[in-house]
Structure 1
Amino acid sequence: MTSASQPVTEPLSLAALDTERHVASSGWDQPPRLFALVPTADLLKREPHLAAGLTVSDQIDGALTAIEQEDLPTNESIETLLGQIAWPETVEGCAIVVERLVVPPDAEHGLPEDREAAVAALAEHPDRRDVRLLAAVTRDGRSICLLRQRDHDRDDRVATGADIAPGLVAALRATFTD
């Protein structure tokens, strides 16, 4: 895992960082959010008026722009939701942002059998940590994950790595298979 404070120039990493910052600006306790990643150059050909809002990172070769997919069903699991998605050829990649509760492994001992009671018990655990996870992939197989802890929200520290959420990365990659 590396720190996101190092200079980043790779298009997928830049799109992931920009997307995470966008989501972070809305605070915590959000539902999952899904984004299509499209080549910025292609988007500007279709929507030239968007050029006025470009940043430096939007102008690098291969830049990607995140387009949020709104009105996601909230009554389905992430796995079910992603299993129903197939992207058109114009979409180069995708990203999903989810919030999770992380507890030490020993916190799972002695939990109630009832799922809701178990979740409530874990939420009250003194060592629990709230995290926001972004996983992004491209059609050609590249991936990146970002992890922000609620405890470090103010200092803007975000961990990055390719292997933070392998199951989520695999589920996102599956949205690009025929």
Structure 2
Amino acid sequence: MTNPAEPADPPAPPSPRTLALRAAVLDLERHVATLGWDGPVVVFALVRTADALGATPSLADELPAEALADAREDPEHLTSIEQDGLPEAATLEELLGQLAWPEQVDGAAVVVERMVVPPEAEQGLPDDPQEALEALMAHPQRQDVRMAAGVLRSGESWCALRSRNNDADDAVAGSPDAVPGLVEALRATLR
């Protein structure tokens, strides 16, 4: 039993793989942020850059010099490949439920925008779905949030969150489990 007066052991530093995933997710979020708000869901495959270059050396001609240099220094460095031609889906859950990745893909990431309101805002909403949506959209505490989440086959995850009200690169928050439902839905695409 530990003495409450004694300081707890500091958390273990993140693994190189977690650091690479965090960097990739933050980079994806910044990339999507340059496109502005009210954008579509964007899905990415994540591959270890060094492995991809080993399998396809001509890829070096398509990657930025900075990514090549980072991959030389860090064997865990990840390259993100935006997915075009996603299947039709009415919801994000339905879309992710239709995705599966080949073994060469080390992970997956998604960037999506959502409206967030405090739980009490959902009390007393009209029964009509359109009227309920309008009420939520007009709520004074409504916030638009961009969520970027990434997972690796090896289990690591990272989430980055940006609020429209605090729309700056240095105001992006992050943690491994900030959006647990999204992390689990992404993990399911890798099974």
TM-score above 0.5: yes
Give the aligned partner of residue 144 of structure 2: 130
- Residue identity in the other structure for 2:31: H
1 or 2 for the larger relative contact order (CA 8 Å, sep ≥6)?
1
CA–CA distance in 2 between the matches of 1:162 and 1:52?
Answer: 27
Of 47-56 and 120-129, more deviation after overlay is shown by 47-56
Give the aligned partner of residue 118 of structure 1: 132
Q: Which aligned pairs between 1:84-123 and structure 2 lie closer than 5 A?
A: 84-123=98-137
- Is contact 1:101-1:128 (8 Å) kept? yes
Shift of 1:172: 0.5
Give the aligned partner of residue 60 of structure 2: 48
- Is contact 2:116-2:143 (8 Å) kept? yes
Shift of 1:141: 1.1
CA–CA distance in 1 between the matches of 2:84 and 2:34?
Answer: 17
Give the aligned partner of residue 4 of structure 1: none
Q: Which aligned pairs between 1:7-156 and structure 2 lie closer than 5 A?
A: 10-45=19-54, 46=56, 47-55=59-67, 57-59=70-72, 60-73=74-87, 75-154=89-168, 156=170
Shift of 1:119: 1.5
**Do the aligned partners of residues 116 and 175 (structure 1) sit closer, same or farther apart at CA in structure 2, a change above 3 Å counting?**
same
**Do the aligned partners of residues 51 and 100 (structure 1) sit closer, same or farther apart at CA in structure 2, a change above 3 Å counting?**
closer
Q: 1:161 aligns with which of 154, 175, 180?
A: 175
Aligned to 1:26, what secondary structure does the other structure show?
coil
TM-score by length of 1: 0.88
CA–CA distance in 1 between the matches of 2:100 and 2:83?
Answer: 13
TM-score by length of 2: 0.82
CA–CA distance in 2 between the matches of 1:52 and 1:31?
Answer: 25
- Is contact 1:145-1:160 (8 Å) kept? yes
Aligned to 2:182, what secondary structure does the other structure show?
helix
- Is contact 2:49-2:75 (8 Å) kept? no
**Do the aligned partners of residues 131 and 163 (structure 1) sit closer, same or farther apart at CA in structure 2, a change above 3 Å counting?**
same
CA offsets per residue over residues 1-35 of structure 1, 9 Å max, x none? xxxxxxx9611111111111111111100111100
Shift of 1:69: 0.6
- Residue identity in the other structure for 2:34: S
- Taking only the aligned residue pairs, the percentage that are identical comes to 51
Which structure would you say has the larger Rg? 2
- Is contact 1:148-1:159 (8 Å) kept? yes
- Residue identity in the other structure for 2:35: S
CA offsets per residue over residues 71-94 of structure 1, 9 Å max, x none? 334542111111111100110000
